[in-house]
Amino acid sequence: MKTRITELLGIDYPIIQGGMAWVAEHHLAAAVSEAGGLGIIGAASAPAEIVREEIRKAKELTDKPIGVNIMLMNPNAPEVARVVLEEGIKVVTTGAGNPARFMKDFKEAGVKVIPVVASVAMAKMMERCGADAVVAEGTESGGHIGSATTMCLVPQVVDGVQIPVIAAGGIGDGRGFAAAFMLGAEAVQMGTRFVVAKESIVHKNYKEKIIKAKDIDSEVTGMSTGHPVRQIRNQMSREYLRLEKEGAGLEELEHLTLGSLRKAVMDGDVVNGTLMAGQIAGLVKKEQTCKEMMDEIMQEAALLLG
Ligand code: TUI
């Protein structure tokens, strides 16, 4: 299947992997790229030199294109951007902020820049700044989210910009892929389904929580701080919401969640860890290789899209 995104990125399948903190490391990114999509290394809050190592390790596993996601709330973002340029990465996605300050350097180096946006206004601003495409991410997504749903956001972003749009949030199978294309998207980005990939290094306890999750098992914390985060409901999310209700300050809330995603991903602590996942977790039923997942999604979507 050819779209402006497959052409832009030189990939076979219009499927991009989300730049998930702790999860999107070199094994997962390389597996998604090897299977024909675009694998992404999530720089999150890692030191720039760790990101450099991750890029190099991914390149040992695949010759296909690999991207890096830069999390803009990270104070290290400028150093990460420099490493990305030095290591010859050709695709960058950005999250949780405005990448305008990095656009000039990336464009000059021929890096394709794909900001993740949660509104039409942000998509238009990114197009004016020179973005090559945008990921329109609905509130169904896991992690840090905006408020519009994928169903409403994607067609409005498609109408608002000329650059190609990648749909994200609530997409986990061929039906979701096909639906996104009906809304005008030219690729999809998936996160939650890839968390349970065989190649994903996520602890089995976390994978099991996603596989066992039902449709309404995620909830959003952090509304009061302006940083809403979707995750699977557990003791941690309940405690966070209780503190928020009592009017706890940012400092206390941040103290509670410090290192909590790491705890979930690396230690499998599904009680005190933050189990970031999207609403589509209820649809994710088994661990498969990235190739199995992606071949299945493309076959199902091809049938639906005719
Ligand atoms: O960035 C994400 N998802 C994330 S980032 C993240 S790290 C984190 N961990 C704990 C607490 C908070 C963050 C976990 N998940 N998705 C992409 C995304 N970007 N969604 C929404 C946005 C966004 C938000 C605001 C993009 C731009 C934006 O603009 C703000 C501005 O500067 O106007």
- For every residue of 137-204, DSSP letters joined together read E-TTSSEE--SS-HHHHHHHHHHH-SS-EEEESS--SHHHHHHHHHTT-SEEEE-HHHHTSTT----H
Residue of minimum CA distance from atom 20 in ligand 1: 145
Rounded to whole angstroms, the Cα distance separating 62 from 76 reads 27
By most ligand atoms within 8 Å of CB, the mutation choice from 144, 192, 260 for ligand 1 is 144
What distance in angstroms lies between residue 304's CA and the mean position of ligand 1's atoms? 32
Residue 113 sits at the vertex; the CA angle it makes with 289 and 68, to the nearest 5 degrees, is 40
Q: What share of the chain is helix, strand, coil (3-state, %, to 5)?
A: 45, 15, 40
Structure tokens at 276: 């970031």
**Tell me, what's the pLDDT at 88?**
98
Does residue 304 come out as left (phi exceeding 0), alpha (psi in the -120 to 50 range) or beta? alpha
**Tell me, what's the pLDDT at 179?**
98
**Tell me, what's the pLDDT at 178?**
98
**Cβ(187)–Cβ(5) under 8 Å?**
yes
**Tell me, what's the pLDDT at 29?**
98
Rounded to whole angstroms, the Cα distance separating 23 from 177 reads 22
Residue 246: burial class (beta carbons within 10 Å; 0-12, 13-18, 19+): exposed
- Tell me how crowded residue 46 is: count the other CB atoms within 10 A of its CB: 20
**Cβ(93)–Cβ(69) under 8 Å?**
yes
CA atoms within 13 A on the CB side of 51: 33
One-letter amino acid at 118 equals A
| Spatial CA neighbour of 10 closest among 36, 42, 41 | 36
What Rg, from alpha-carbon coordinates, does the chain have?
A: 18
**Tell me, what's the pLDDT at 298?**
98
Strand 218-221 and strand 165-168: the pairing is unpaired
pLDDT tens figures, 131-182: 999 999 999 999 999 999 999 999 999 999 999 999 999 999 999 999 999 9
Rounded to whole angstroms, the Cα distance separating 104 from 82 reads 12
What distance in angstroms lies between residue 98's CA and the mean position of ligand 1's atoms? 10
**Tell me, what's the pLDDT at 133?**
98
What's 27's DSSP letter? H
Structure tokens at 103: 């656009």
**Tell me, what's the pLDDT at 4?**
98
pLDDT beneath 70: ranges in the chain = none
**Tell me, what's the pLDDT at 83?**
98
**Tell me, what's the pLDDT at 53?**
98
**Tell me, what's the pLDDT at 176?**
98
User: What are the distances in angstroms from CA 35 to CA 61, 111, 127?
Assistant: 12, 22, 29
**Does ligand 1 have an atom closer than 6 angstroms to the CB of 140?**
no
**Does ligand 1 have an atom closer than 6 angstroms to the CB of 97?**
yes
**Does ligand 1 have an atom closer than 6 angstroms to the CB of 262?**
no
**Tell me, what's the pLDDT at 193?**
98
**Does ligand 1 have an atom closer than 6 angstroms to the CB of 193?**
no
- pTM metric for this prediction: 0.97
Structure tokens at 61: 């596993």
Q: Which residues pair with 68 in a beta bridge?
A: 41, 92
| Spatial CA neighbour of 37 closest among 303, 254, 293, 299 | 293
Q: Where does 187-259 have alpha helices with state H?
A: 192-195, 204-212, 235-245, 250-257
